[in-house]
A and B are shown apart, each in its own frame.
Chain A
């Protein structure tokens, strides 16, 4: 029953079901503190706990399923015994595809250790092999190891796994190793040594989103695994959770790191997207992208839409949709670059539909495909991807859908295409921007440490980081590095109590009613922020336009945010998230103003600087705060330097699949 039913049935308003204790302050001291309990955060906690340290882990939800917890389908970029692909290859395809705007340092670390990480998670209880022989004889199966692969059946470095089994296994390992888990406890700030912005990170503040209790953590090393920003441009007041992006990924991580003085980059990156509220369930419609590759697509009359390779040659057999064309090195998951692009549905499909060559609607025809592909797409991939296992695989089947005899409708060129990159006709106009690409924003060194002593980052929080494999591998690595730092750093540095007090005042400000003034709801604030970003930081930008946007965001934050009121701790969380989103909007606008050039990869087009990607701007723009003022800097795209040498120099004692001998 919903709230209204309950009230009508009982005849009483419902009291908040948890005790509300805004005045309680908990003090916790540990060696390593992990903020964020998604796969990356949990792996970091496990790594640090294995070194015998005292570790605490905070999460906005429950780490058994939070983050990418309900599931995932692909484990990418993993050199392994079945493949000739090297870590250098894994770095190369992304660097080439994104014209250098790729974090080769973190990608290299992840590729070096992804296989070790996968085997470690298998030991925790996750299913990574076809042990039940469901796919015996399939062309993407290695009969000896029982590993399954996707996208490129010859090069075999992208795994198909039972992703829904991963997170509970990883979480159980955290518990087994004695990690102190604080679920529903949300970090609100990082604490600097001496309270000085830019100083060493010595702790964090947090609050419980059910009871409102305050937490002050003190630690020798802190790991931020709170993901990236995804919500600046997008908001729907009602269906905000149905959005393509997880409502929890609000940019709390970058906002609190920004306030502490951490250096961020690629904040100017965005791309066009579908308006929120008009989407279909992710991977819940017939399509041929990502999870659904290489699904057969037919039109309303059953006419098959052809697949073509990157040179435009028609690819006839289903199996060949997952093999490199002659002379092509390998196929990479998200690359449209001819060197690595997998065969795709014809790129001019929308125009050919307009000419009448294909009749709407289209359908995904899994029934016509070989058994192993049908079973892999519908049974394994849709059966394990985050938001598809329950509502799509199980839900659709319960409603009568049978992948062996039915064709699932595609919404291509109809409204609400769930995978926006598929239909370019939906991408027009400045009203449909979103933060996307390879999410994260924090600049890291070879220890995955930020510019702030004692602060490490993981997964999607890392500059240009994304994917489950990357979260797990970098989490495991950062946990190891943070543990080494904590072990060497003696006793915990003291907290600055004035900084704690200031933060506490900020956190609880909206819990006090201001009669006649508290009529700005968090939803209205968030909608206003999204509107400002769509209008002033949209598909086409210029200096004055963005300055107006920046002023508007600052005004919303200064004049209207203080009028918000949180009637319970849950709403307090949403109010505080809104503050962080507005903070991130300010950073984005400052980054966009600082990049005085257009850039295709960044999705950043300036009327006043129309030349696209001029060579002198071929670098990262960095931003950080020093004494409350923004300082713009720059970083070479290849800041990782010589990847193999640097990795070796920083990991002399590490042993794994690619480092057996030393």
Chain B
């Protein structure tokens, strides 16, 4: 790689240098249109997965996703129903509809 040459050329799209995210990176999904940034979920979390957003009134930031215990306390505590729990993909469970025999997945 010739760095000097690279720099002279088109700078390209802005891209940050991040390390890998831990797995799973999103144990909960927050509906940002509903969230009022009250941080009740942050305060009830039993493992401190989330931290308040530096911008007041904005949704909390998922900071330590790999520590999520999946007990759903945040979902229960949310006054506007903005949070959904998301089990890791490799732990999704299948089920079978009795009448049709169809295999479905949660």
CB-CB under 8 A for A239 and B88, given A2-B21, A17-B52, A570-B64: yes
Report the tally of A-B residue pairs with Cβ distances under 8 A: 172
B69 touches A241 (CB 8 A): yes
Instruction: Kindly state whether residue A467 has any CB partner on chain B within 8 Å.
Output: no
A279 to B69, CA, bound (A): 13
A3-19: CB near B (< 8 Å → 1, else 0) gives 11011101000110110
The CA-CA distance from A386 to B68 in the complex, in Å, is 14
Interface contact B71-A390, CB-CB below 8 Å: yes
B37 within 8 A of A: no
Given A279-B91, A395-B106, CB of A70 within 8 Å of CB of B98? no
A554 at the interface (CB under 8 A from B): no
CB neighbours (8 Å) of A407 from chain B are 95-96, 98
What residues of A have a CB within 8 angstroms of the CB of B97 in the complex?
A: 405-406
Decide if B44 is an interface residue (CB 8 Å cutoff): yes
Q: Which of A6, A239, A405 sits near B61, CB closer than 8 Å?
A: A6
A641 at the interface (CB under 8 A from B): no
Do A209 and B88 contact each other (CB < 8 Å), given the known contacts A387-B72, A408-B93, A409-B93? no
Q: Which of B64, B76, B93, B104 contacts A70 (CB 8 A)?
A: B76
Of A47-55, A57-65, A129-137, A532-540, the one touching chain B = A57-65
8 A Cβ contacts from B37-63 to A: 43-49, 51-54, 59, 61-63
Chain B binder among A142-150, A280-288, A545-553, A609-617: A280-288
The size class of the interface chain B forms with chain A is 35 or more
A400 partner residues in chain B, CB cutoff 8 A: 104, 106
Question: Looking at the complex, which one of B25, B47, B61, B104 makes contact with A241 (CB distance below 8 Å)?
Answer: B47
Candidate in B25, B44, B68 with the most chain A CB atoms within 10 angstroms: B44
Q: How many residues of A contact B (CB 8 A)?
A: 62
Report yes or no: B98 in contact with A3, Cβ–Cβ below 8 A.
no
Contact of A70 with B71 in the complex, beta carbons under 8 Å? yes
Do B16 and A14 touch across chains, with their CB atoms under 8 A apart?
A: no
Which residues of the other chain, A, contact B75 by a CB distance below 8 angstroms? 390, 394
Given the known interface contacts A1-B59, A209-B48, A391-B72, the answer about A406 and B87 at a Cβ–Cβ threshold of 8 Å is no
Is there contact, CB below 8 Å, between B32 and A1? yes
| Contact among A2, A69, A240, A280 with B67 in the assembled complex (CB-CB below 8 Å) | A240
Chain A residues positioned under 8 Å from B104 (CB to CB): 400-401, 406
Excluding A2-B61, A6-B54, A394-B75, 4 further A-B contacts by CB distance (< 8 Å) are: A241-B70, A400-B106, A405-B99, A406-B96
